[in-house]
């Protein structure tokens, strides 16, 4: 598997140049500290939303007309514009790179498409040792459209940080085994026990492409990265610890030591849905920040992880259609619950639903920014 030896971000990187290093987002990701480690409050409470770039925005739907999901991700100009749209509209404190967790599969040459109303569908599921052995090597040159899209985006963002992301090895491997979305992910869970060697080889392949995908984004200009484990909630604690944690650790190891010549490093966030019982393991994998979904109160997350762990989350997306007083009260409750952590970045406890009214998100951002840090 391909590895890259350098641990230094380019000298013109937004973190290395200082452009984003003192942003409110990175201040909270570092546990309310400046880039040199001094305690400091941010100028405002930072907030961004998972899936903020996407189906809830009419400008996104107009731009995407006639272009498939994966093709839009690999069109640098389009991916950059989609990434920037919610920053302009909502004044969020970070952009999240517009892409998809299966893009590394496509870049490696694995046949996969996003079918509307279904999700990722592979041409051929990966279920045997021979299938795993036949998986292609991901060539470094395949990241060219990702690099271009990131560079276009950071040139427009200025001091607003860009967050890179990748799907965690279990979630990627789950799609590969099932061949399509699944309710219970029985296929990959069964493989862990019936054929653990094949599972480990598949998960190691997924960890490599996922980690390198994150690394390409960070090297091109992203100031932080988030590893998404959409389906880790389907696992018991013992299965996660034995069969998944080593691979998530391997994915994060590709980016865990990246820093600029000034010593400022790129924070790493680990988020999963339905992962309340394994939050400590998500942190153990190598994350600086733990994302919490809407199922667990942030004060309880702090009790489980310790007050030194910065948190991200966890406004319940179900509240976005409620009357404003109800939504406002909920946002304030989440902010209060997160106040015991070393740092807290407001976010949803999952992605923005496509039916969300965009002005509601703008109003939520305005509320959060209006409250003194």
Active site residues: 51, 55, 64, 100, 175
For residue 265, give the 3-state DSSP assignment: strand
Distance CA 354, CA 69 (A): 15
For residue 71, give the 3-state DSSP assignment: helix
Distance CA 206, CA 199 (A): 10
Distance CA 91, CA 32 (A): 21
- Pairing state of beta strands 268-272 and 289-291? parallel
Q: Which of 205, 213, 90 is nearest to 150 (CA)?
A: 213
Are 310 and 30 spatial neighbours (Cβ–Cβ below 8 Å)? Answer: yes
- Partnered with residue 289 across adjacent β-strands are 269
- Partnered with residue 346 across adjacent β-strands are 47
Q: Which of 106, 117, 110, 231 is nearest to 167 (CA)?
A: 231
Q: Which of 74, 79, 59 is nearest to 105 (CA)?
A: 74
Q: Which residues contact 297 (CB under 8 A, 6 or more apart)?
A: 337
Output the CA torsion 129→132→133→138 (10° steps): -170
- Which helix (H) or strand (E) is 120 found in, with range? strand 119-122
Place of tokens 């400590």: 280
First to last CA, the chain: 45
- Pairing state of beta strands 119-122 and 162-167? unpaired
- Rg of the chain's alpha carbons, rounded to an integer? 19
């Amino acid at each position: 598997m391909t590895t890259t030896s350098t641990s230094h971000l380019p000298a013109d990187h937004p973190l290395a140049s200082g452009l984003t290093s003192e942003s409110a987002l990175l201040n909270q990701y570092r546990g309310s500290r400046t880039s040199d480690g001094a305690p400091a409050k941010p100028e405002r409470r930072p907030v961004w939303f998972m899936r903020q770039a996407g189906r809830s925005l009419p400008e996104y739907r107009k731009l995407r007309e006639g272009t498939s999901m994966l093709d839009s991700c690999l069109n640098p100009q389009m991916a950059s514009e989609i990434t920037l749209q919610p920053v302009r509209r909502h004044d969020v404190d970070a952009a999240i790179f517009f892409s998809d967790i299966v893009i590394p599969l496509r870049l490696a040459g694995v046949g996969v498409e996003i079918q509307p109303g279904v999700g990722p569908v592979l041409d051929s599921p990966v279920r045997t040792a021979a299938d795993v052995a036949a998986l292609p090597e991901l060539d470094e040159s395949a990241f060219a459209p990702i690099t271009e899209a990131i560079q276009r985006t950071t040139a427009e963002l200025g001091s607003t940080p860009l967050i890179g992301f990748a799907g965690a090895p279990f979630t990627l491997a789950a799609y590969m085994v099932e061949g399509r979305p699944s309710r219970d992910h029985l296929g990959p869970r069964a493989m862990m026990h019936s054929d653990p060697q094949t599972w480990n080889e598949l998960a190691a392949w997924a960890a490599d492409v996922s980690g390198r995908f994150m690394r390409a984004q960070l090297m091109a200009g992203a100031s932080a990265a988030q590893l998404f484990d959409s389906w880790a909630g389907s696992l018991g604690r013992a299965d996660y610890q034995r069969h998944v944690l080593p691979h998530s650790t391997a994915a994060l190891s590709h980016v865990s030591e990246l820093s600029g010549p000034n010593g400022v490093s790129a924070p790493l966030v680990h988020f999963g849905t339905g992962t309340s019982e394994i939050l400590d393991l998500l942190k153990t994998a190598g994350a600086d920040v733990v994302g919490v979904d809407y199922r667990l109160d942030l004060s309880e997350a702090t009790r489980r992880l310790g007050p030194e762990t910065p948190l991200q989350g966890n406004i319940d997306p179900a509240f976005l259609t409620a009357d404003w007083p109800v939504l406002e009260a909920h946002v304030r409750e989440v902010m209060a619950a997160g106040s015991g952590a070393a740092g807290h970045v407001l976010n949803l406890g999952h992605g923005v639903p496509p039916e969300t009214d965009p002005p509601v998100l703008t109003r939520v951002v305005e509320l959060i920014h209006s409250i003194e840090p």
